[in-house]
Structure 1
Amino acid sequence: MSFFEEQCPEMDRYLENHTSAEPEILKRLRRETFQKTTQPHMISGYLQGRLLSILSKMSNPKNILEIGTFTGYATLCLVEGLSKDGKITTLDINEELSYLPKKYFQESEYSGQIDFQLKDAKVFLKETEEVFDFVFIDADKENYVEYFNLIKPRIKSGAIVLFDNVLWYGKVLEEDPKQKSTQIIKELNEMASKDEDFENVILPLRDGLHLIRKK
């Protein structure tokens, strides 16, 4: 649950009641995530999932990169908008939990377009020659700035980049944060807003979603 949902749960329910329904496979995945994981709040969830789906459908990307798979909910939202010959590469290092996204990826009608890799994203980005037109990052916050720097040469003009949890439960308002993750998130938000190669907006959805577009 996010900082904003805690402040006004009634509004969150209203928004969900007036948002397009999630596919049945996502309902089942969301339920199983809450049943079988110790940190189910890490899932993208209903509202953010529908936003990811719409953004993907609007841009119709051919090559998506996701850093931080968790149980695969966001992956299955993003793949809805992929071009017919497109691919999504989703990266995570949690081998113990990997059975869950694998299960739902195999069930999905888009199974042939999902490349799930248990690999460190920094290593992947340093090795790959691929160019991406959509990137979603919801992983270890202390590496957000490094991820931003590493993806810059790997995205084309017009590409969409999304960072999750960029309001960090309101901690970004702290003048001199002691927590390293808060410092890094604040640095990322500052960098993205001042980089002349990009245009950006922070959406106060759940725990904050930084939407960045390469010019």
Structure 2
Amino acid sequence: MSNHNHITGNQNIDLENYIETHTSQEDELLYHLRRQTHLKVLRPRMVSGPVQGQLLTMLCQMIRPQNVLEIGTFTGYSAICMARGLNQGAVIHTIERDDELESFISHYIDKAGLQDKIKLHIGDALKVIEELNTSFDLAFIDGDKREYPTYYKMVIEKMNPGGFILADNILWNGKVVDPQAQNDSYTQGILTFNKLVKEDPRTEQVILPMRDGLMMIRVKE
């Protein structure tokens, strides 16, 4: 790689800060949610954060979905960001496996005044999706990485033509290109998912190298 393209670790942090500074700032509610996540919840780095949050809001404003599916609510940051970009009458079905997070998530959904737009489901995503009698214009996959291939197979069947699927952590800390790091089940799940999508003639896709990689998949009409 030529020198002028090489970014050092420090430059990387500087760039991330620059990107965040030049992105619309999160409001007090989202800042508080993110802060409380870091104080009270295990693995707080899983929270979406202001840059990805703003992207999700703007994607919803662009796509204008009526029905949205989210797999992996965590503490609710991404669901709130998407809900804020939705038209009147549109709904997000968000699924979280960890029942201990339920009151935390509900508290912030209520605080944001988004109870009408966000329907929280606690349980196994595969079972919940099966029971949802809805087709979706947008889906955001951010659950258990080992289950990504199974999520994809279920979700694609529920998508409307022209709909979009977003999948987070698709570069998995660079492990997807590191043969030494590919033995664990999480990395295998991501690699299998990426291959599945690439080989699926029903879709077209692009990977955005932001944060830990976000794949945007469009279901052909």
Q: Say yes or no: TM over 0.5.
A: yes
Q: Distance in 1 between matches of 2:123 and 2:207?
A: 28
SS at match of 2:100: coil
What's the CA shift for 1:126?
2.1
TM-score, normalised with respect to structure 1 = 0.94
What's the CA shift for 1:19?
0.5
Matching of residues 1-215 of structure 1 within 5 Å:
8-175=12-179, 177-215=182-220
What's the CA shift for 1:105?
0.4
Q: Distance in 2 between matches of 1:40 and 1:21?
A: 20
Per-residue CA deviation, residues 155-199 of structure 1 (Å, 9 max, x unaligned), is 001111011111011100033721111112011111112211111
Per-residue CA deviation, residues 105-148 of structure 1 (Å, 9 max, x unaligned), is 01113221111111211012222221011100111000000000
Give the residue type in structure 2 aligned to 1:94: D
Q: Is the 8 A contact 1:5 1:206 kept in 2?
A: no
Q: What 5-or-longer segments of structure 2 have no aligned partner? A: 1-7
Q: What 5-or-longer segments of structure 1 have no aligned partner? A: none
Q: Distance in 2 between matches of 1:112 and 1:125?
A: 20
What's the CA shift for 1:99?
1.5
Per-residue CA deviation, residues 2-39 of structure 1 (Å, 9 max, x unaligned), is xx988711100000010111122111111111111121
Q: Would the alpha carbon gap of residues 6 and 183 (structure 1) be closer, same or farther in structure 2, given more than 3 Å must change?
A: farther
Q: Is the 8 A contact 2:98 2:123 kept in 1?
A: no
Q: Would the alpha carbon gap of residues 86 and 131 (structure 1) be closer, same or farther in structure 2, given more than 3 Å must change?
A: same
SS at match of 2:153: helix
Q: Distance in 1 between matches of 2:38 and 2:9?
A: 17
Identical amino acids, percent of aligned pairs: 39
Greater relative contact order: 1 or 2 (C-alpha under 8 angstroms, separation 6 or more)? 1
Give the residue type in structure 2 aligned to 1:67: I
Give the residue type in structure 1 aligned to 2:101: L
Q: Distance in 1 between matches of 2:67 and 2:113?
A: 18
Q: Distance in 2 between matches of 1:97 and 1:150?
A: 25
Q: Distance in 2 between matches of 1:185 and 1:117?
A: 24
